[in-house]
Homo-oligomer: A and B are copies of this chain.
Amino acid sequence: MREYETDNDYEMARAAKSGGGDETQVNASRERFQRIYTLLRNRICLLDYPPGTRLSEEALAAEFGISRTPLRRVLGWLESQGLLRSVHGVGTIVTDVEIDAFVQVYQLRMELAELVGKLSPVPPTPETIGLFRELERRGSELQQKPDPRAFAQLNIDFFHGLMRLTENEPLREISERLYYQTARIWLKSISQMNLAQEVAIFAREIAEVRTAVEIGDVSAASHIRRSHISMSFVRLSNTKPETATQA
């Protein structure tokens, strides 16, 4: 569905820009924006840029072969999503999530997960069912060779798969926003937990959801998801005594 390459793709962008781009350039511009936006968001929530990291506009602009101006548009969107914060004279800092906000976001995400089954649920297509089977396969694979980063990536893809179960676009946008706000905190905590156990639980969740999707019961899938978000939160709370700080 979506590409989450973290390297070698902006190189393509540069080639497309300088090379044989004889199609409409405006679309190329919007696609470039989308690519950089998605790329940076992924780097943030995959902890390539841990909370507190200071990003340099100039360095990023140079990396993507563009000027600071269009890059700042991307950073502005990321800032409006609460992932960055620009401070004059200091830098562009990757935000952290304080404990209170983390709790609130998780509570809200639980409710929204359930709403997926209530608002405009869409009967799963064979393609969607296939996607969840593929996710389940990746889950099994991950159990044999646990890895935090692959775990996080599977979690992201699973989330996007769930978003295909509703046609309510505002719900999707909002769920996505909240997901990306806490995904990195979750990932940061996962490292301090029993990785194998978490992977096993997650694999079971995928399997359960896949079963529900297969018989077309989106509501059941959403309830399964909700309960797992809830339980995941409980486990996180039990193992995470300290949290980060951020103004």
A80 vs B79: C-alpha distance in the bound complex, in angstroms?
A: 10
Contact with B along A115-143 (1 / 0, CB 8 A): 10011100000000000000000000000
Nearest opposing residue in chain B for A27, CB measure: B88
Contact with B along A96-115 (1 / 0, CB 8 A): 00000100110110010001
A107 vs B76: C-alpha distance in the bound complex, in angstroms?
A: 29
Interfacial chain B residues near A77, Cβ < 8 Å:
76, 80
Interfacial chain B residues near A119, Cβ < 8 Å:
104, 107-108, 111
Q: Is the CB of B108 within 8 A of A168?
A: yes
A17 vs B73: C-alpha distance in the bound complex, in angstroms?
A: 25
A171 vs B26: C-alpha distance in the bound complex, in angstroms?
A: 35
Interface of A is mostly: helix
How near does chain B come to A239, taking the closest CB pair, in angstroms? 23
Interfacial chain B residues near A241, Cβ < 8 Å:
none
Interfacial chain B residues near A171, Cβ < 8 Å:
104, 108
Known contacts A76-B76, A111-B115, A115-B108, A170 near B120 by CB under 8 Å? no
Known contacts A88-B29, A115-B111, A119-B108, A170 near B76 by CB under 8 Å? no
A216 vs B181: C-alpha distance in the bound complex, in angstroms?
A: 32
How near does chain B come to A95, taking the closest CB pair, in angstroms? 13
Contact with B along A167-181 (1 / 0, CB 8 A): 111110010011001
A181 vs B105: C-alpha distance in the bound complex, in angstroms?
A: 22
Contact partner of A169 (CB less than 8 A), chosen from B101, B167, B177, is B101
Contact with B along A149-171 (1 / 0, CB 8 A): 00000000000000000011111
12 further contact pairs, Cβ within 8 A, besides A105-B170, A107-B120, A170-B178: A26-B87, A26-B89, A73-B76, A77-B80, A104-B120, A104-B167, A104-B169, A104-B171, A107-B168, A108-B170, A108-B174, A174-B174
Going nearest first, the 9 A-B pairs with the smallest beta carbon separation are A104-B168, A80-B80, A76-B76, A26-B88, A105-B170, A77-B80, A174-B174, A107-B119, A108-B170
